[in-house]
Amino acid sequence: MTDLRKRNFYHTSESVSDGHPDKICDQIADAILDEIISQDKKARVACEVFTGKGYVIIGGEITTSAWIDTNRIVREVLRDIGYNKPEYGFDFQTVAVLNAIVEQSPDIARGVKKTGEKSQGAGDQGMMFGYAAKETKELMPLPISLAHQLVKKLRDLRKNNVLPFLRPDGKSQVTVHYENGQPKEVTDIVVAAQHDPNVKMNKLRQVIRKYVIEPICQKYISSKTKIYINNTGRFVIGGPVSDTGVTGRKTQVDTYGSICPHGGGGFSGKDPTKVDRSAAYMARYVAKNIVAAGLANKCEIQLAYAIGAKYPFGVSVNTFGTGEFPEEKIVKAVRQTFDLSPGGIIKELNLLRPIYRKTSYFGHVGREEKEFLWERKDRVNKLLKNLK
């Protein structure tokens, strides 16, 4: 096993703004899920969204007693993001909305049974990962944490009219140099910010460095840090006008910035009977409590389910050589401390709430906000007790 305490390496993570084409799709899918789950907690939702120049297509499988106005939801999401001007080439008033939703297959539904109860089985097979590390106060990897903060700052400055020439699309990328397994400095920062055509590039680069990069990254910037702002020299055409968007295409942006594996299943548009989403949230909950308890400096959790299964058949812990106890002993304590059944996860994390649109941009993990119950550190004492 590699001991990350002794490793020197570089790691890069990226994030995208809420106006990125893929994130538009994630937000629409989760806004639809929120609307449904607020009316029907037993609904089965697997919503997919596809967007391009002038259109939004909604598909997937949904079985529910709720009635929702998908046309209204799409336009409200686009307006809230900031696609509200015809000159963008894509705006909430004129976009075409196409609905191609069908019902969920009964062969899948029969394995899930009653939502949130002990008899509930997993909605599909798969592997889910959770991760935590003593690198930030939220116990997240530093590269993805900084990347999220950069695009969030772009959004806030645009919406608050501090930098009114910014447009909704944008991306960031941060490379961190680690020594002995701990972050030492940021070596490279990339920011791509969509902008109005009349803005001079020198001015744009100056204000983004001053108002976006320096307030967030100054602690880690050195004289050797390379900064790239709109590196092609122009980013006027953006959003769905320049690129198509699809739900579930930014899985590493949604989680840990590729510093740990990903099970492969996207999150947005899926109700919590889908363990792709709910068990990934639980894996983060477990990993965070392990690190918060001082049992390891870094921790990766893997959970594995079969469709219809009431419990995971695979639970593994990797502390990368930083653990205070043998990993098999930590696994045993995890099973004693946390209810890892699909129904137990839904109940523990209170996942039958309309909270999902907020999760769909700037990361599903690492945000210590009231909706994100998987970010709590309330199982520390119970973990320690079960270990002893």
Average pLDDT, the chain: 93
| pLDDT tier for residue 308 given thresholds of 50, 70 and 90 | confident
pLDDT at 332 (0 to 100): 97
Sequence spans of domains, the chain: 4-16+141-240, 21-109, 126-134+274-387
| pLDDT tier for residue 5 given thresholds of 50, 70 and 90 | very low
- Of 191, 184, 190, residue with least CA distance to 222: 184
> What's the rounded Cα separation, in Å, for the pair 181 and 322?
10
- Lowest mean pLDDT, pick from 6-15, 197-206, 333-342: 6-15
Instruction: Please check whether residue 168 is in contact with residue 180, taking contact to mean a CB–CB distance below 8 angstroms.
Output: no
Bridge-based pairing state of the strands 55-63 and 96-99: parallel
pLDDT at 109 (0 to 100): 52
May I ask the CATH class of domain 126-134+274-387? alpha beta
Task: Report the pLDDT averaged over residues 157-185.
Answer: 96
pLDDT over threshold 80, residue 107: no
Number of other CB atoms surrounding residue 11 within 10 Å: 17
pLDDT over threshold 60, residue 205: yes
Cα 102 to Cα 24, 59, 62, 182, 299: the distances in Å are 21, 7, 6, 48, 40
pLDDT at 2 (0 to 100): 44
> What's the rounded Cα separation, in Å, for the pair 339 and 325?
21
pLDDT at 219 (0 to 100): 93
* SS3 at position 303: strand
110-147 pLDDT, tens digit per residue, is: 555 555 566 687 878 889 999 999 999 999 999 999 99
Q: Assess whether the region 4-16+141-240 and the region 126-134+274-387 belong to the same CATH fold.
A: yes
CATH topology classification for 21-109: GMP Synthetase; Chain A, domain 3 (3.30.300)
pLDDT at 1 (0 to 100): 37
- Of 93, 215, 95, residue with least CA distance to 149: 215
Cα 249 to Cα 20, 31, 174, 283, 306: the distances in Å are 11, 17, 19, 21, 23
- Of 124, 156, 159, 136, residue with least CA distance to 257: 136
**pTM value?**
0.94
pLDDT at 303 (0 to 100): 97
pLDDT over threshold 60, residue 4: no
- Lowest mean pLDDT, pick from 105-119, 179-193, 281-295, 313-327: 105-119
pLDDT at 232 (0 to 100): 94
pLDDT at 114 (0 to 100): 58
May I ask the CATH class of domain 4-16+141-240? alpha beta
Task: Report the pLDDT averaged over residues 71-86.
Answer: 97
